[in-house]
Structure 1
Amino acid sequence: MKNLFFIAALLFSTTLLAQKAKVTKGDWENLKGITEYNVVFDYSNLSIPKYDSEEEFLKDKMAKRDEKEPGTGKKFKESWFSDREEYYEPRFIETFNDRYKDGAVKVEKDSGAEYTMKVHTTMIYPGYNIGLVRHNSKLEVTLSVYKTGEPENVIFSADYTKIEGQGNGGYDFNSGQRIADAYIIFARALTKHMYKNNK
């Protein structure tokens, strides 16, 4: 039993270490003392591996679904966009706030906080799960912080790569839930970096 706990802890720590954060402006210490963020999410210029654009990705996926069952392509496109507010964003916010159990730092949409945290997702790989074969979702994100209302005055920015979902024990047949899992991993890594650099 002890070995199982050790392996689980090792896998968890390895997962967090896999998240690469390259600071491109400012320093982590610039965030010291900020206790609340108005969080906004940006999906502009989103890239999808193996596709020239998000539009091409959607066109391909819709066509394949409609070929099997007419009408399902449109439903897929609708869920692709609605999953952002239904799955990705709530999971990120919940996980971030849960990591700061004492409420020392929190994020909230439309909060009116002095500082804004912008989560710009630049790449999404949705992964797949067809039962016997599955592949984790992946993300790349540019995180930036600025005074609310002054997006041109960024005080901190970092590019996150190698963000990979962990599959929810293999029960991640829905693409929205698979991708949301990667946002959970991202929130965990971000809060770890913030805490470590702002003690």
Structure 2
Amino acid sequence: MRKIVVLVLLLSSGIVMAQKMKLEKGDLKFLSGQKEVNVEFVYDNLKLMKEKLSETDYVTKRAAELNEKSKGNGDIWKKKWKGSKELIWNPKFLELINVVLVKGKKEISFQEELKSAKYTLIVDVVWIYPGWDAAVMKQPAKVSTVLKFVETANRNNVLAEVSSEEAPGDQWGNNFSNESRIGEGFAKTAKSFAKLILKEIK
């Protein structure tokens, strides 16, 4: 029985781990020689779950479910969810993209609030699936984004656009925090994106 469970886990993880990243428009050669890039995270178009709920609907539904199980837990979770963008998801993306670029010997710093940078990367988060962890079996989170480079002084000038679909978010061992799993999806997005940049400007 144990062997069957392990096999199912391996097969399911193999399916889940498939991330699609594609350069949809332009190229990334303009990044050659750049030392810094401004980054902005946008959640205005975010949908969640397979049903593609709006963030407001998802938070309302999830909080109600948690409050029903244990009074007050849903309200606590709402605060955690609200803080996750600034405390977990955005920092995970920034940390990993910079780490991979440094390892690839490219001195390009991606940071928020770099208003003087010539180019801005807009990370448009369009879909999130939080995943789940039931100890014996689990489903990684998935994060889909549109990564768009624009001129900081002229946002209408789009230099490149990359789509990233279903970047998996998981860690070794158990991870019972939805917000933490989602953060790993942002980390995976950043890793793959940095590798694409290195490939394009080598």
Alignment-derived partner of residue 97 in structure 2: 96
Are 1:85 and 2:86 counterparts? Answer: yes
Are 1:145 and 2:149 counterparts? Answer: yes
Alignment-derived partner of residue 119 in structure 1: 123
**Aligned partner of 1:190: which letter?**
F
- Give the whole-Å Cα distance in 2 for the aligned partners of 1:182 and 1:75: 23
What is the TM-score when the length of structure 2 is the normalising length? Answer: 0.84
CA contact (8 A) 1:30 1:156 kept: no
TM superposition shift of 1:28: 2.6
Alignment-derived partner of residue 194 in structure 1: 197
TM superposition shift of 1:111: 1.9
CA contact (8 A) 1:119 1:141 kept: yes
CA contact (8 A) 2:101 2:198 kept: no
Match for 1:185 among 180, 185, 188? 188
More strand by share: 2
Alignment-derived partner of residue 173 in structure 2: 170
Match for 1:110 among 92, 113, 116? 113
Give ranges in structure 2 of 5+ residues lacking alignment.
1-13
Alignment deviations for residues 121-171 of structure 1 (CA, whole Å, 9 cap, x no partner):
100001111222211000110001111132221111111113112x21123
What is the TM-score when the length of structure 1 is the normalising length? Answer: 0.85
Q: Secondary structure at the match of 1:100?
A: helix
Aligned length: 184
Alignment-derived partner of residue 40 in structure 1: 40
- Give the whole-Å Cα distance in 2 for the aligned partners of 1:90 and 1:55: 23
TM superposition shift of 1:51: 4.3
TM superposition shift of 1:91: 1.0
Q: Secondary structure at the match of 2:128?
A: strand
Give ranges in structure 1 of 5+ residues lacking alignment.
1-13
- Give the whole-Å Cα distance in 2 for the aligned partners of 1:103 and 1:31: 10
**Cα root mean square deviation, aligned:** 1.9
Alignment deviations for residues 78-99 of structure 1 (CA, whole Å, 9 cap, x no partner):
2112101111111111111111
Same amino acid, percent of matched pairs:
28
**Aligned partner of 1:97: which letter?**
N
- Give the whole-Å Cα distance in 1 for the aligned partners of 2:106 and 2:75: 41
- Give the whole-Å Cα distance in 1 for the aligned partners of 2:53 and 2:87: 26
CA contact (8 A) 2:145 2:164 kept: yes
- Give the whole-Å Cα distance in 1 for the aligned partners of 2:19 and 2:134: 26
CA contact (8 A) 1:91 1:184 kept: yes
